[in-house]
Structure 1
Amino acid sequence: MYDVVVIGGGPSGATAAEDLARSGKCVAMIDRDGRIKPCGGAIPPRAITDFLIPDDQLVAKVNTARMISPTGRKVDIPIENGFVGMVDRKDFDPFLRDRGKQAGADCFTGTFLRIDRDADQTAVVFRDKETGEDRSLQTKLIIGSDGARSKVAKAEVPGGDKIPYVIAYHEVIEAPALSVDYDPLRCDVIYDGAISSDFYGWIFPHGKSASIGMGTGIEGVDLKKATADIRATHGLTDCKTLRREGAPIPLKPMDKWDNGRDVILAGDAAGVVAPSSGEGIYYAMLGGRVAATAASAFLETGRSKDLQLARKLFMREHKSVFKVLGAMQNAYYRSDERRERFVSLCHDVDVQRLTFEAYMNKRLIKARPMAHLKIGIKNLAHLTRLVSETHV
């Protein structure tokens, strides 16, 4: 009998499994074989600190972000007093799972099938990769961290089958030499409707490799062609392609993360990816941590309402950030004219500093109220066309 079975071994599930195992709980974690999520791989300093990410997991340390508009305008934003770490998910996820295993979690490789219940017990059924047979693990509680189109969420939590998402696709290539179009210390974010009319494209350095990709929620878009166009525009066509990956990325946290009985959702399964930026690793790991906190409370008290702690703890700290980012996406991702104005707004030093202070520390910065007021006025001026697109 396990205290908790964690379904999914990405950053969220692996963090939950490790935290629970370290607190003395009997934990099992089930993960699919060979799964690598398409991901730019950016993690802020707060993630490195909060989750004790060792330096050898960082394949690059980025010090600049470049915003590129539909007309090709480039705005470089320096990352002052720090850096953004980059990880490669093919190595980072196994590292996190191994850490959970070392903490005491039992790890299984297989495909989740269903949750069986009767009057006496609850069991998670999965198909074991090694034997090909269906296995059953008895448990008191389940954490569903099985991705944006979560089978656990769909079966157990209201609204779990209706999470809005974009499809992300990227190609990992051998890193080219330093050039005007590629810098191993710079992340390029491409706001261009020809690449993605509702999201963005990216070029993110990974040391010896680089992630080139884009995302969209619009059906029928040729993701491979859009990525090929990014590579062609930036002189990356001839770079050797190491692997190609695609997967959904959720756009909005669910209103409810538990079933009021014995299931908690975490990470992408709960919809916790930042609007506008699509950033997910830090929020996934935090989602795993608050799910573990809620699980521990439930196991201690037996009160089903303690399952709600996961969402409450997460939203208490990050609801405002998600609200602001969602408003920004709704305001600026509608058209190339709006995207052009957004990149123009990024020229502003106050915007740059407050944006990256918030990103690095994962909270809205309140120390400079006049800067916030100035940004609000400039933002309104751009949206109402009181300033020209070329205004800097």
Structure 2
Amino acid sequence: MNPSSSSETFDVVVVGGGPAGATAANDLARQGHHVLLLDRAGRIKPCGGAIPPRLIAEFEIPDHLLVARISSARMVSPSNRDVDMPIDGGFVGMVDREHYDEWLRQRAAEGGAVRRTGTFNRLAREADGTAVMHYERRMDDGSVREDSVRARAVIGADGAVSAVARQCIPEVREIRYVFAYHEIIRSPDRSHPVFDATRCDVVYRGKLSPDFYSWVFPHGPTTSIGTGSACKGFSLRGSVAEFRKAAALDDLETIRREGAPIPLKPLSRWDNGRDVVLAGDAAGVVAPASGEGIYYAMAGGRAAAQAVALFLKTRDAAALATARKTFMRKHGAVFFILGMMQRYWYTNDARRERFVAICRDRDVQQLTWDAYMNKELVRAKPLSHVRIFFKNIAHLTGLAKAA
């Protein structure tokens, strides 16, 4: 490793090239800012890969990135009762993160961002207070050297265990994780007795996940089958092996295995009050209960970009706090409600059984899909909300049967 110094100065350094970082880099570069996008080599996040129509429209995602279109979900209870939830007149797009994330990074580069492969080490300061990012840079010939660049602002979008956050944001100690593990397998053919290439299966069973859920998400020629849990000592690999056997998917080719922590609560602060702001998993913006992260990562990346653009224009560090304020104003209520759902319904199999029973209700299905597809709470149907409220009370008190 050969040390090297750099006199380069960027308006913004974005650390992390996932959906959050790539979105922030693209937005800022296309506004004319000098942007460096730093990303590690060979990183593929374990992810179901679902993206709603609002994301596709809002972030201009082309059709060729959609490897499947899902028209329904099947919820499976601990006793193996299942509930189909069709999407009336719509679909959920599925993407392969290996290709989707790379396309986002390439779009940022086409918009003017400078791409480099490397790993963040630390932030230092020059005498005038300017941030200096030290990193290990991977060269085209495969060698690695120490390098550094100056930055007027830094966006930390480097994942759930963000090195930027650990150094710069004390509130990172608040973060809680679910650990997710999945296996990408070759999708079965149409003769398979259970598998449906147009349906996502979500399984609520304590044996497979004591505090979260397991899933089968089709991606066209491949499929993600996985599980998550925050319980220390729980064998995620063992659970997925058992799940694959139960789903008659154990004899299919395994293409790759991936695991990572997933945060389920936004941090109470995303910026250092000076020149650093977080986005995506680093800021904790993965939806509780569902574990959905791609849309919220990109929305958080855009909010961070807007905050940094304002900071660069005004030189007022208070502008950085607008990233969290903007995001939580739009999505905070959804995160609060999903967090309550997870804390209550995922506690034991008896509650999971009742949770799946609630999903049989057409009002619940319609409002669930409306909220998911449009990424906001639906307020236009007050009578449906009233009916759902009383149905929830009935299930919470045991007055309604789970069967």
TM-score category by the smaller chain?
over 0.9
Displacement of 1:256? 0.5
| Equivalences for residues 1-392 of structure 1 within 5 A | 1-120=9-128, 121-130=130-139, 131-178=143-190, 179-390=192-403
Equivalent residue, structure 1, for 2:3: none
Q: Give the counterpart letter for 1:50 in structure 2.
A: E
Residues 66, 94 of structure 2: 8 Å contact kept: yes
Q: Give the counterpart letter for 2:39 in structure 1.
A: D
Partner Cα separation in structure 1 for residue 281 and residue 390 of structure 2: 34
Residues 164, 250 of structure 1: 8 Å contact kept: yes
Local SS of the residue matching 2:183: strand
Q: Give the counterpart letter for 2:187 in structure 1.
A: A
Residues 170, 245 of structure 1: 8 Å contact kept: yes
Partner Cα separation in structure 2 for residue 168 and residue 357 of structure 1: 26
Q: Give the counterpart letter for 2:300 in structure 1.
A: G
Displacement of 1:115? 0.4
Q: Give the counterpart letter for 1:242 in structure 2.
A: I
Residues 149, 161 of structure 1: 8 Å contact kept: no
Residues 153, 161 of structure 1: 8 Å contact kept: no
Q: Give the counterpart letter for 1:285 in structure 2.
A: M
Q: Give the counterpart letter for 1:107 in structure 2.
A: R
Partner Cα separation in structure 1 for residue 194 and residue 276 of structure 2: 47
Partner Cα separation in structure 1 for residue 346 and residue 174 of structure 2: 22
Give structure 1 stretches of 5+ with no counterpart: none
Local SS of the residue matching 2:171: coil
Displacement of 1:180? 3.6
Displacement of 1:241? 0.2
Partner Cα separation in structure 2 for residue 251 and residue 19 of structure 1: 26
Partner Cα separation in structure 2 for residue 339 and residue 172 of structure 1: 26
Displacement of 1:109? 0.4
Local SS of the residue matching 1:104: coil
Partner Cα separation in structure 2 for residue 162 and residue 364 of structure 1: 26
TM-score, normalisation: structure 2: 0.96
Partner Cα separation in structure 2 for residue 217 and residue 330 of structure 1: 12
Deviation per CA, 1:86-107: give whole Å up to 9, x if none: 0000111111000001101011
Q: Give the counterpart letter for 2:86 in structure 1.
A: P
Residues 115, 124 of structure 1: 8 Å contact kept: yes
Q: Give the counterpart letter for 1:156 in structure 2.
A: C
Displacement of 1:119? 1.9
- Backbone CA RMSD of aligned residues: 0.8
